[in-house]
Amino acid sequence: MKFPRTCAHRYMAILGAMMLVACGAMVDARAAASDSAAHIDVSGHVFRLDAAKVTYALGVNEKGQLQSIYWGPRLAPGDPLPAPVAPPGGDSINGAVDAVPQEYAGWGEGLYYEPDLKVTFPDGNRDLALRYLSHSVHGNMLSVVLKDIERPIVVTLQYEIDPGTGILRRSAVIENRTVTPVIVEQASAGTWFLPRSHDYTLRFLAGRWAAENSIYERPVQPGKTVLESRRGSTGMQNAPWFAIRRNDASETHGQVWFGALAWSGSWQIAIEQDQTEQIRVTGGFNPFDFGYKLAPGASLQTPSFYAGVTTGGMGEASRLLHRLELTRILPQAPHSRARPVLYNSWEATGFDVNEAGQTALAEKAASIGVERFVMDDGWFGARNSDKAGLGDWTVNPQKFPHGLKPLIDRVHALGMDFGIWVEPEMVNPDSDLYRAHPDWVLNMTGRPRTLGRNQMVLNLARPDVRAYVFGALDKLLSENQIAFLKWDYNRSWSEPGWPQVSPDQQKNVYVDFVSNVYGILEELRRKHPNVEIESCSSGGGRVDLGIMHLTDEVWPSDNTDAFDRLRIQDGFTQAYTPGVMMAWVTDSPSSMDGRSMSLEYRFLSAMQGSLGIGANLTKWTTQDVTTAQRLIADYKVVRETVQHGDLYRLVSPDSGSEHSATENVSPDKAHAVLFAFLHSSTEGYLYPTVRLQGLDADARYRVRVLQGTLAERTPTVASGAYWMNVGIDVVMRGDFQGAAIAFDRE
């Protein structure tokens, strides 16, 4: 059946007036997008989105199913995009529905692959068959409305294309227009399809506490790889990110499809090669233990799933995602503020914080050029260890007899702003809050309340708990001149029950908790617009594009060993920009591995991201102070390039070699900075020549050594072509050596 060339269609008759709302003025004509760099074309029942170097196309087949047509490098404007035709198929083994690359498949009609939506109705019906209803275009966003063939479960799919990167944002809004509640048992943002091929390798990130974001690769073969968190939060077991590359693609060349999920609760990305050899990538809420009760008239929006494609290899895939984060995701996008150099007290003082000790550290920190002083855990309630005090957000009177004001005033007088640690979603059983409200935590009636780090998770889904947490933070920020919150979250969920609501609503906690965390962050930011926030979760346990939308920076790992960090940072930057990647210089030998490294090496490792200092400054020698002053001053000169430029991972610390190198290039290519590291010299080999990337070949760049030694006869000025082809020789011998070289266009 051919679809009419207007929004009217066969379901109109069934749905009557309801449908009219969904029919926009957009008919067949090309819709000029608000941004000239992105285009959305609607031609009959085929939708085509173009931006940057990407084309994405989808369309409605003769059965009314919304079908994927193309996702890849940009096509020419007039290229024919055939109307999708549902592949023939369907036998006793595979249903006809399985052969269709449906953009958003309901679980029904004999679907055996990962569904996008699974719903149980009160009468026991669990069959859902979604068909096209209408569409509209607003600016860079195409919305396509689907509806079940019989029941008014209506799904609005959003496709928003970013003009700068061609990355698409997909999300689905599921509406229950029936007259009874339904249970949504699985809901994704959508499914992405890659061209049929045997030629794919999946790259993903996995890790644990102190070892986040290790890079893994495996061939895409029949079957399914599930990346996920079932922990209630993002977690470090997997990062909500994937990349699928052609087998011959490398860091610098070749085709890569990649994506990241914006959700800070339990999530899932399933990468599946089905029996018809289609590659499906489906991502959204984790379906494990999921069951969202949707009242009549209510709707549920899935997380956003961002994804892009490039022919420029893994490096370019990361750079595109970084650019999206800097220009679209972060709170201050498109003009993200550079991260100040901060000091954090945690590794120096632990819980033993007080006015005199913090003031002494602040004075030292200011003397080396620190711009923000952050007091970590231990300042509130009865918080002398991790066994007590969480939940009681009042200043500890023994440690701060005059409140926080004298310390904050001193920090300001020293020319820095002041930040403080909080962990608002948690409570210790040994706290006034828990004694007053033992029912405020996630729990299942009559069952033990399993502790993690001696604490429980407050049930933020409850409106009263949400109000308490917002009130406590709002008061803290209103009464004190605080510029920065380090927002921590130090355990995974257990017994995720919500006894105060009906059994069939209890699982709503997986969504409502996260929505309320986002709500609190939004409200705080609105009320205190100058406060910046870091997302920390025992290290990198809550890093995703959802939390990054509401926080200015993230903490990648509690492991601050400068050598380990090179590997962790290499994994982190697969998905996330160095502009949010906090990295501290801490003491040597490192508390993690007992490894000794020079202060210079520790600085250079941390300077690859957003520089912080976490060492016990009271123990530093005069020479340490001088080194720190010099390198912090240098960092301030290059930080704009490091944080907001393009990252080139020249040699990965994961490559098995004894050396690694990264290079950041400013967007206008006027500046670049190279960080090179040597793990350990072997057999007298020279440090390999480093060839730069991403410079303007015709421009001339002056070289400036921030740290290290260049080979004799290295020119001080040469063309971009020279630095990219001849390269630069750094002299490094020994163990744990580092160099940093800046390149400035003349």
Query: Distance between CA 415 and CA 372 in Å, rounded?
Result: 9
Residue 707 in contact with ligand GLA, rule: CB under 6 A? no
Long-range contacts, stretch 67-72, CB < 8 angstroms, 24+ apart: 67/100, 67/101, 67/102, 67/103, 68/101, 68/102, 68/103, 68/191, 68/192, 68/193, 71/192, 71/193, 71/194, 71/257, 71/309, 72/195, 72/255, 72/309
CA angle in degrees (0–180, nearest 5) for 301-307-26: 65
Residue 650 in contact with ligand GLA, rule: CB under 6 A? no
Figure out which of the listed residues 346, 434, 584, 736 binds ligand GLA, where binding follows CB under 6 A: 346
Q: Of the two residues 24 and 350, which places its CB atom closer to ligand GLA in the complex?
A: 350
Residue 558 in contact with ligand GLA, rule: CB under 6 A? yes
Residue 381 in contact with ligand GLA, rule: CB under 6 A? no
- Please list every residue from 583 through 642 that binds ligand GLA, using CB under 6 A: none
Residue 377 in contact with ligand GLA, rule: CB under 6 A? yes
Q: Of the two residues 46 and 554, which places its CB atom closer to ligand GLA in the complex?
A: 554
Please indicate whether residue 439 is annotated as part of the active site: no
Per the DSSP assignment, residues forming a β-bridge with 701 are: 718, 745
Paired tokens of 76: 């020419």
Answer for the pair 51, 41: CB distance below 8 angstroms, yes or no: no
Looking only at the bridges linking them, the beta strands covering 342-344 and 610-613 are parallel
Residue 455 in contact with ligand GLA, rule: CB under 6 A? no
With CB atoms as reference, the residue minimizing the distance to ligand GLA is 377
Query: Distance between CA 548 and CA 545 in Å, rounded?
Result: 5
Q: Of the two residues 188 and 560, which places its CB atom closer to ligand GLA in the complex?
A: 560
What is the nearest approach in angstroms of ligand GLA to the Cβ of residue 494?
A: 18
Site size toward ligand GLA, by CB under 6 A? 10
Q: Of the two residues 411 and 536, which places its CB atom closer to ligand GLA in the complex?
A: 536
Q: Of the two residues 236 and 676, which places its CB atom closer to ligand GLA in the complex?
A: 236
What is the nearest approach in angstroms of ligand GLA to the Cβ of residue 390?
A: 9
Please indicate whether residue 558 is annotated as part of the active site: yes
Per the DSSP assignment, residues forming a β-bridge with 170 are: 159, 305
What is the nearest approach in angstroms of ligand GLA to the Cβ of residue 588?
A: 18
What is the nearest approach in angstroms of ligand GLA to the Cβ of residue 42?
A: 48
Per the DSSP assignment, residues forming a β-bridge with 344 are: 374
What is the nearest approach in angstroms of ligand GLA to the Cβ of residue 538?
A: 5
Q: Of the two residues 434 and 555, which places its CB atom closer to ligand GLA in the complex?
A: 555
Query: Distance between CA 537 and CA 516 in Å, rounded?
Result: 17
CA angle in degrees (0–180, nearest 5) for 529-532-534: 145
Residue 67 in contact with ligand GLA, rule: CB under 6 A? no
Give the SS3 label for residue 110. Answer: coil
Amino acid at 627: T
Query: Distance between CA 484 and CA 644 in Å, rounded?
Result: 20
Which residue in 430, 558, 646, 744 is the catalytic one? 558
What is the nearest approach in angstroms of ligand GLA to the Cβ of residue 457?
A: 15
Of 14, 286, 6, 29, nearest to 131 by C-alpha is 14
> In the stretch 505-544, what mask flags binding to ligand GLA with x, by CB under 6 A?
-------------------------------x-xx-----
Which residue in 162, 488, 561, 564 is the catalytic one? 488
Paired tokens of 588: 């040597």
What is the nearest approach in angstroms of ligand GLA to the Cβ of residue 207?
A: 14
Residue 103 in contact with ligand GLA, rule: CB under 6 A? no
What is the nearest approach in angstroms of ligand GLA to the Cβ of residue 41?
A: 48
Residue 137: its H or E element: strand 130-138
> In the stretch 412-451, what mask flags binding to ligand GLA with x, by CB under 6 A?
---------x------------------------------
Q: Of the two residues 521 and 536, which places its CB atom closer to ligand GLA in the complex?
A: 536
What is the nearest approach in angstroms of ligand GLA to the Cβ of residue 378?
A: 8
Burial 381-405 (b: 16+ CB within 10 A, else e): bbbbebbbbbbbbebbeebbeeebe
What is the phi/psi pair of residue 418, to 5°?
Answer: -120, 135
Residue 490 in contact with ligand GLA, rule: CB under 6 A? yes
Paired tokens of 538: 């025992």
Q: Which region, left, alpha or beta, applies to residue 326 given φ > 0 means left and ψ of -120 to 50 means alpha?
A: alpha
Q: Of the two residues 194 and 427, which places its CB atom closer to ligand GLA in the complex?
A: 427
Q: Of the two residues 390 and 706, which places its CB atom closer to ligand GLA in the complex?
A: 390
Residue 488 in contact with ligand GLA, rule: CB under 6 A? yes
The footprint of ligand GLA (CB under 6 A) covers: 346, 376-377, 421, 488, 490, 536, 538-539, 558
Annotated catalytic sites, by residue? Answer: 488, 558
